[in-house]
Chain A
Amino acid sequence: AQTVTQSQPEMSVQEAETVTLSCTYDTSESDYYLFWYKQPPSRQMILVIRQEAYKQQNATENRFSVNFQKAAKSFSLKISDSQLGDAAMYFCAYRDDRGSTLGRLYFGRGTQLTVWP
Chain B
Amino acid sequence: GAGVSQTPSNKVTEKGKYVELRCDPISGHTALYWYRQSLGQGPEFLIYFQGTGAADDSGLPNDRFFAVRPEGSVSTLKIQRTERGDSAVYLCASSPNPGAYNEQFFGPGTRLTVL
Q: Assess the B108–A42 pair: CB atoms within 8 A.
A: yes
Of B42, B44, B91, most A-chain CB atoms within 10 Å = B42
A4: nearest chain-B partner, CB-CB? B42
Chain A nearest CB, measured from B30 CB (Å): 11
A108: nearest chain-B partner, CB-CB? B42
Binding site for A on B (CB under 8 A): 31, 33, 35, 40-45, 48, 50, 55-56, 59, 89, 91, 93, 95, 98-101, 103-104, 106-109, 111
Which of A69-110 touch B at CB < 8 Å?
91, 93, 95-97, 100-110
Contacts of B55 in A (CB 8 A): 102-103
- Over the window 33-61 of chain A, the binary record of Cβ atoms lying under 8 Å from chain B Cβ atoms (1 yes, 0 no) is 10001000011111100101000000000
Q: Assess the B101–A44 pair: CB atoms within 8 A.
A: no
Q: Assess the B98–A103 pair: CB atoms within 8 A.
A: yes
Q: Which of B48, B56, B109 contacts A43 (CB 8 A)?
A: B109
Q: Assess the B56–A45 pair: CB atoms within 8 A.
A: no
Measured as residues with beta carbon below 8 angstroms from the partner, the interface class of chain A is 20 to 34
Q: Assess the A45–B91 pair: CB atoms within 8 A.
A: yes
Q: A44-B108, A45-B106, A97-B99 are known contacts. Are A102 and B56 too (CB-CB below 8 A)?
A: yes
Chain A nearest CB, measured from B59 CB (Å): 7
Chain A nearest CB, measured from B82 CB (Å): 20
Q: How far is the CA of A100 from the CA of B42 in the complex (A)?
A: 21
Q: Assess the B109–A52 pair: CB atoms within 8 A.
A: no
Q: How far is the CA of A14 from the CA of B5 in the complex (A)?
A: 34
Q: How far is the CA of A29 from the CA of B25 in the complex (A)?
A: 30
Q: Which of B45, B56, B108, B109 contacts A105 (CB 8 A)?
A: B45
Q: Which of B42, B95, B100 contacts A107 (CB 8 A)?
A: B42
